[in-house]
């Protein structure tokens, strides 16, 4: 691992259900198709740049596109984003891991809850996960206030937790919404500062951001730059970070730091 810091690039691979939150009915087939179109574009983009990523995938998405999941290059990590994006029961923790492993033939070690919702760490442990990445250690109005939680890797009730990264000073989340809504150079600078302070950064996006979403009735700040402009911005970010930092999957990073022992 390079000593100048690691980039943990992650994507939540899922059915595109956001319009439902805003009262727009979208058939399941279209939610799936939008997720899939974004997935194809995203994998092409990161594979062309040669960077590994961690793909937190719903079992629902994987069940609809098993071939696409099996064709993911082995240097990427497949992790769980539970079973369905829009509904959750605790038994889905185990069911999603088993379904993803059955479809992919790979071991699934990581979990990220849809919308970073709260989850019982004992249930995550019982379902056989090695780490949880369902924490955004910041304040998102109307969603959660995690300002008192650690910014970086910690253990809770025996479960390893890898928070999504936030900026070093004001805990600005380094995730999809700030990537598209803040000026590019600010986001890049915050990311580099977080790498300098923490030794790594964990960034997260969604494949559906990289296709056209203009016809959906979702807030402007969620669909800003959607499609090609955001593809270009992500390419630029990866290229800029590649010059000084190493990209790695979460599983590989935790393993190299001896936080987890099996792969
Ligand atoms: Zn999600």
Centroid of ligand 1 to alpha carbon of 244 (angstroms) = 29
Centroid of ligand 1 to alpha carbon of 114 (angstroms) = 4
Per-residue confidence (pLDDT) for residue 262, from 0 to 100: 62
Percent of residues in the chain assigned helix, strand, coil, to nearest 5: 40, 15, 40
- Residue 1 pLDDT level (bands cut at 50, 70, 90): very low
Indicate the pTM of the whole model.
0.96
Residues 225-241: tens digit of each pLDDT: 999 999 999 999 999 99
DSSP-assigned beta bridge partners for residue 248: 8
Tokens of 104: 């992919």
SS3 132: strand
CB 241 within 8 Å of CB 229: no
pLDDT at 3 over 70: no
CB 31 within 8 Å of CB 17: yes
Per-residue confidence (pLDDT) for residue 144, from 0 to 100: 86
Mean pLDDT of the chain: 95
Residues 135-173: tens digit of each pLDDT: 999 998 888 899 999 999 999 999 999 999 999 889 999
Q: What is the C-alpha radius of gyration for the chain, rounded to an integer number of angstroms?
A: 17
Centroid of ligand 1 to alpha carbon of 168 (angstroms) = 24
- For the ranges 32-36, 80-84, 117-121, 139-143, the lowest mean pLDDT is seen at 139-143
Per-residue confidence (pLDDT) for residue 2, from 0 to 100: 46
Centroid of ligand 1 to alpha carbon of 222 (angstroms) = 13
Centroid of ligand 1 to alpha carbon of 116 (angstroms) = 8
d(CA 98, CA 154): 26
SS3 205: strand
Residues near ion ligand 1 (Cβ under 5 Å): 12, 14, 114
Tokens of 162: 């890898």
């Amino acid at each position: 691992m390079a000593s100048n810091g690691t980039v943990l690039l992650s994507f939540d691979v899922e059915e595109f259900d956001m319009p439902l939150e805003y009262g727009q009915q979208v058939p399941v087939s279209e939610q799936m198709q939008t997720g899939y179109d974004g997935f194809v574009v995203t994998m092409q983009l990161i594979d062309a740049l040669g960077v590994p990523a961690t793909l937190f995938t719903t079992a629902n998405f994987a069940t609809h596109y098993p071939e696409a999941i099996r064709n993911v290059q082995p240097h990427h990590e497949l992790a769980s984003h539970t079973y369905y994006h829009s509904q959750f029961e605790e038994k889905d923790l185990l069911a999603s891991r088993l379904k993803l492993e059955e479809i992919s033939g790979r071991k699934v070690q990581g979990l990220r809850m849809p919308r970073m919702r709260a989850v019982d760490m004992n249930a995550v442990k019982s379902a056989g996960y090695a780490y949880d990445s369902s924490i955004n250690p910041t304040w998102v109005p109307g969603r959660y206030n995690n300002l008192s939680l650690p910014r970086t890797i910690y253990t809770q009730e025996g479960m390893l937790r890898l928070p999504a990264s936030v900026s070093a000073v004001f805990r600005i989340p380094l995730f999809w919404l700030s990537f598209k809504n803040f000026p590019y150079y600010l986001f890049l600078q915050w990311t580099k500062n977080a790498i300098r302070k923490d030794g790594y950064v964990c960034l997260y996006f969604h494949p559906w951001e990289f296709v056209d979403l203009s016809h959906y009735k979702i807030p402007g700040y969620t669909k800003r730059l959607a499609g090609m402009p955001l593809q270009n911005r992500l390419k630029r970010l990866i290229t800029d970070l590649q010059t000084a930092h190493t990209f790695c999957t979460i599983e590989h990073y935790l393993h190299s730091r001896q936080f987890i022992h099996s792969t």
